[in-house]
Amino acid sequence: MTSETKLVCRNVWKIFGAGARDRLRAGNAPDIEALIAAGMVPAVRNVDLDVRTGEIFVIMGLSGSGKSTLVRCLSRLVEPTSGEILFNGENLLDAGEARMIEIRRHQMGMVFQHFALLPHLTVLANVAFPLEVQGVDRRQREERARRMIELVGLSGKENVFPRQLSGGQQQRVGIARSLAVEPELWFLDEPFSALDPLIRREMQDEFLRLQAALQKTIVFITHDFDEAIRLADRIAIMKDGVVVQAGTPEELVLNPATPYVAEFTRNIARAKVIRAGSIMRAVEAAFPATTIRERATIAEAAPLFAGTGETIGVVDAEGRPSGILTRNDVVDLMMRG
């Protein structure tokens, strides 16, 4: 992951109701109670966010917190009431309709909870469909679609129809379709919430595998904190349309900024949040044969000590040695909860 910023969100509001824009033009922060009394719905309130190139940025909160409205504002599927949304330095709120269509077709990918596959088209045709909309010739779009189908593990299913697939397979088709346009920015709005727990876990594994290979910039929406800490580089927690805290999973659990965040994260074990890269030591001798990646959690690392002695190796995203984990450090952290 690089520190370059791909998406910047500044002072973004979305208020549903007549006269909302005029209320914001007054210059001062609007009275939320007065807005509600006037029949308006302040769904997103004064949000500031930065999404870095190559990171998985999770926006989470309970139902009604504004997370799905915010992600639709970021792509202007829902029109923000005010603010700035900068994508590669371009303010999307100044872009005309034709420009936004071009950006969505060529630079953004979107996956939603409901798969929205076209039932009369095969898997291959579904994945190739956004390229057909772009005007890509048939040979080229089908070649790219086949690559995406292989990438999500569905080789051999190119000529079947959505009704012949399981829920997890259908969601893989949706993911392949969104990747076919080779997006710079990938929005996923609760993509796994309709799946049963076992398939959901498998899809999370698949998602992490894809991200390791593709290094996309991802905005991922969920209400499940376990899912968020498993996937995220950073998390923003929303409540009543407001981002109450943003940071790494470790920062949120170890240093909650508000009582709401503290309650939200209260039952999360540290070992499920703290990553191997955070407590690893420098390599001082031979590098251990058993390894785990830097972003793996201590809960994932702990079982590896069963038959490997006192240390395991820690590697970066490219598989290069970064450090070592010691049994004592892992046990100490887990004993502290």
- Angle, CA of 40, 46 and 52, to the nearest 5°: 135
Instruction: Specify the pLDDT at position 337.
Output: 60
* Axis-axis angle for helices 123-134, 167-179 (nearest 10): 20
Task: Identify the burial level of 218 via C-beta atoms within 10 angstroms of its C-beta, where 0-12 means exposed, 13-18 middle and 19 or more buried.
Answer: buried
Q: Each residue's pLDDT tens digit in the chain (337 positions)?
A: 446 899 999 999 999 998 888 877 755 678 888 888 888 999 999 999 999 999 999 999 988 899 999 999 999 999 999 999 999 999 999 999 999 999 998 899 888 777 678 999 999 999 999 899 888 999 999 999 998 898 888 899 999 999 999 888 888 898 889 888 888 999 988 888 877 888 788 888 888 888 888 889 999 999 888 889 889 999 999 999 999 999 999 999 889 999 999 988 888 888 888 889 889 999 887 888 889 988 888 988 998 888 777 899 999 878 889 999 999 999 888 887 6
> What pLDDT shows up at residue 2?
47
CATH of domain 5-107+183-268: 3.40.50.300
Strand partners, 326: 311
Tally the C-alpha atoms within 13 A of residue 269's C-alpha that lie toward its C-beta: 11
Fold (CATH) for 272-335: CBS domain Like (3.90.1280)
Domain ranges of the chain: 5-107+183-268, 272-335
Residue 43: other Cβ atoms inside 10 A? 22
DSSP string, 35-50: HHHTT-EEEEEEEEEE
Which pLDDT score, from 0 to 100, does residue 1 have?
45
pLDDT for residue 213: 84
